[in-house]
Amino acid sequence: MSALLAIRNLSVAYGGIQAVRDISLEVGEGEMVCLIGANGAGKTTTLKAVSGLIAPTSGEVEFDGRVITRQAAHDIARLRLALVPEGRGIFPRMSVLENLLMGAYCRRDQIEIQRDTERIYGLLPRLAERRQQIAGLLSGGEQQMLALGRAMMARPRLLLLDEPSMGLAPLMVQAVFDIIKQIAASGVSVFLIEQNAHLALKTCVRGYVMESGSITLADTASALAANPAVRRAYLGE
């Protein structure tokens, strides 16, 4: 399987603090890959470096055979790489529909944008029911669905997900992950960061474990789930 996303020897520092230390990982075309680790391990920093929100101190990020390490975030988005940030990052004073259309801001194909909007409503019927509602009035789960829908409006080849289960009730977590699996089944590659290690490893095919800014383990998701060290540290056993 060819690598759609390749991170090579990437390091990121905030001032004198080394947040990410010489990491390398890959996400293949059509693959679901997770990055698990404790809070503060450097997972979110990794996604920010991939999506162009922060600049690495060394190493490189390659997307679809093209080095994007120091490109601006809006230029990276045009390459069809979409980020659903931690905390969802919706526009609370805009309507559901207006939020969705923000996901298509790089596009000019208005007829296809309209069709994609209807496809999102089909995938996420709760958004269809609330299309004119102010986004800030949605529940947490509905806001997460809106963040997913907005990202899909960019027609991404790779979807970066930062803690999609955060702050959600268990039933809503399952609903959100069912949607993520449907998105992956449509051919979109997924790189998932998630503190719920059990759910992440159950959902993805491969995974990486991050500790103190470094990748300490890399294996299939099933192998990681069976690893005694992972079970003790992240699965509560």
Q: Where are the domains of the chain?
A: 3-91+155-234
Give the closest residue to 21 by CA, choosing from 54, 59, 53.
59
The whole-angstrom separation of Cα 167 and Cα 120 is 23
Q: Is the pLDDT score of 235 beyond 90?
A: no
**E runs forming strands in 15-91:** 17-28, 32-36, 58-63, 66-67, 81-84
Q: What pLDDT shows up at residue 1?
A: 59
Q: Is the pLDDT score of 236 beyond 80?
A: no
Give the closest residue to 72 by CA, choosing from 45, 54, 47, 56.
54
The whole-angstrom separation of Cα 194 and Cα 230 is 14
Tell me the backbone φ, ψ of residue 22, rounded to 5 degrees: 50, 50
Query: Domain spanning 3-91+155-234: which superfamily?
Result: P-loop containing nucleotide triphosphate hydrolases (3.40.50.300)
Give every CB contact of residue 57 below 8 A, 6+ residues apart in sequence.
Answer: 11, 12, 13
Q: Is the pLDDT score of 201 beyond 90?
A: yes
Question: pLDDT class for 87, splitting at 50, 70, 90?
Answer: confident
pLDDT, tens only, 68-82: 998 999 999 999 999
The pTM for the full model equals 0.93
pLDDT, tens only, 129-185: 999 999 999 999 999 999 999 999 999 999 999 999 988 889 989 999 999 999 999
What residues are paired with 13 via a beta bridge? 18
Question: pLDDT class for 237, splitting at 50, 70, 90?
Answer: low
The whole-angstrom separation of Cα 81 and Cα 162 is 14
The whole-angstrom separation of Cα 128 and Cα 120 is 8
Contacts of 64-73 with C-beta under 8 Å, sequence gap 24+, read 64/4, 64/157
